[in-house]
Chain A
């Protein structure tokens, strides 16, 4: 022995150990994990200063292109399937916002998870005393994406001041709820896609395909697409609910049907993807070596 000694308290456990305290204990634990991961991720912003500048440039270019696209369209017409130019600007804002949230934590975490499954480091996610799905979903934070979130918020607010719709408190609450539902739907969808990495170890392209679908189709209200494509965009790649429904709410054109179906679909997608997640975990054998 080299005279090493341990003196700290190594025998006392946590006041509330993981898994204790019933449902309330679990929820509190989950929330603490979520808060810690997100706040640490964002605090590490300084490490990514150059990335950050790049993502500002990127956001500005993307926004400019999209606004330019809008002005071209609205040079020809004043109304696109019932949507005016500022309605569509709100939609672009929502698109930015949701893309930002996905890019902030969901997509980098899912990419890290697929990589982890390939390399075997996913093992460490499973030996932690916490909800595996939660850990896998928040493990990496890419703070640059905050730029998109902020740009999105700004554009939404700007667009809304120009739209003639007057929103009541209820409308605002509904908007936030549908936004949340939209996020849940897309999150569940990405989770389910990524979960397939348990079977197909090389799946890197899947998220890229989703990203381009979301990036291209999500910038327009699904109502402008022909019927069959609308169905695809609603159920197969749930872009519609993520972007269109919250934008409807924000521009005062939300119907109760779409609000309710957004909520229903969010629950359904979430439950299904979670079931699929645990189904996949039972089959997990890890990488050898």
Chain B
């Protein structure tokens, strides 16, 4: 059985165009002027239980909107989805009891009461048995180092501390599906790493399926073998992370260090690198060549120049993603 099935999902927001203020609001009731925003267009995919999937896209791509539909917050304009056998936006308590939505930009813990009290509220809402509740709180506070924090009111916590408490609080009911919307936003590198390895462990231990959005590729590389990429609300890619790099990064970079002060003659270098643009550095140069030609070009360089060091690099995933978005932006804008 698949955990998540999404088919031809659309979400169009109707954004009222009006000035602020009650007067304008009342005016807008009479003559509605609205603009359509196509946040999600024809998106479809399936996710198996236990999978951790990276959900990528630039700002405004429709990631949060999709996650909100899957967690039952929004009704789609059209299309269908089932998660754990439920239609999310019917908001069946049996579904919501097995699901967690964590948003890095918003917190659900109550501001004025101690963290532990917020957890107790969740215990009542999710009907978590006392024994499980105690054991899980203990364990989470050990893993995420919450000991000191649980008795403080949320307003006295730092951003990172709050996020840890948020995450722990959202997992007390041991959800089978996890929607993480930028869970590491604004956190320092150590905290990001901690949360990452924690999510991996949670997935390993519970077999929960996880959909994660993040603008930090380190999160995605560490956690997700599979990525789904959307852009302008449309599905762009769905497959293995390496496959994404492979498909969209056509190039590799060859970095060459030269042995001595070699009078590098552009005219002579040209044929060696098949005429690709060369970037000079103090002690050598680098050149980007199509993947398939890398071995040949490297061999020619080694044979033709006094090379002291030669390194072939995959482009960083960030730049691949950037390339993907740029390419499709041009497509969309052009057509």
Contact = CB atoms under 8 A, between A and B. Distances in A.
Interface of A: 1-2, 4-20, 29, 32-33, 35-37, 40-41, 43-44, 47, 119-121, 123-124, 126-130, 132, 135, 139-140, 199-200, 202, 282, 284-286, 288-289
A2 B197 contact: yes
B101 A127 contact: yes
B180 to A, nearest CB: 13
B252 interface: no
A130 B110 CA distance: 17
B197 A1 contact: yes
B31 interface: no
B198 A4 contact: yes
Given A8-B132, A19-B92, A20-B94, A128 B99 contact: no
Contacts of A130: 93, 125
Contact of A126 (B72, B95, B107, B139): B72
Interface in B80-137: 91-101, 103, 105-108, 110, 112-114, 117, 120-121, 123-129, 132, 135-136
A140 B110 contact: yes
Which residue, B20, B68, B72, B127, has most C-beta atoms of chain A within 10 A? B127
A56 B35 CA distance: 52
Contact of A1 (B99, B114, B136, B200): B200
Nearest to B135: A8
Interface residues on B, range: 35 or more
Contact of B22 (A7, A11, A200): A200
B65 to A, nearest CB: 8
B206 A11 contact: yes
Interface of B: 13, 20, 22, 25, 64, 68, 71-75, 91-101, 103, 105-108, 110, 112-114, 117, 120-121, 123-129, 132, 135-136, 138-139, 143, 153, 173-174, 194, 197-198, 200-202, 205-206
25 contacts: A2-B194, A2-B197, A4-B201, A5-B201, A6-B202, A11-B206, A12-B132, A14-B97, A14-B127, A14-B132, A16-B127, A18-B94, A18-B126, A18-B127, A19-B92, A37-B124, A40-B121, A41-B113, A126-B72, A127-B71, A127-B96, A127-B100, A129-B126, A284-B74, A286-B74
Given A129-B94, A129-B126, A121 B106 contact: yes
Contacts of B139: 6-8
A40 B198 contact: no
A197 B125 CA distance: 25
A88 B55 CA distance: 64
Given A18-B93, A282-B75, A8 B126 contact: no
A13 B174 contact: yes
Contacts of B106: 119-121, 123-124
A10 B201 contact: no
Most buried by B among A14, A33, A130, A200: A14
Contacts of B68: 123, 286
A17 B97 contact: yes
Interface centre among A128, A282, A288, by most B CB within 10 Å?
A128
A16 B124 CA distance: 12
Given A6-B139, A6-B202, A17 B127 contact: yes
A202 B101 CA distance: 26
A128 B125 contact: yes
Nearest to B143: A4
B230 to A, nearest CB: 16
B96 A128 contact: yes
A14 B128 contact: yes
A72 to B, nearest CB: 38
Contacts of A139: 110
A42 to B, nearest CB: 11
B140 to A, nearest CB: 8
Given A47-B112, A123-B101, A128-B96, 7 more contacts: A6-B206, A8-B138, A33-B124, A36-B124, A44-B113, A127-B100, A129-B94
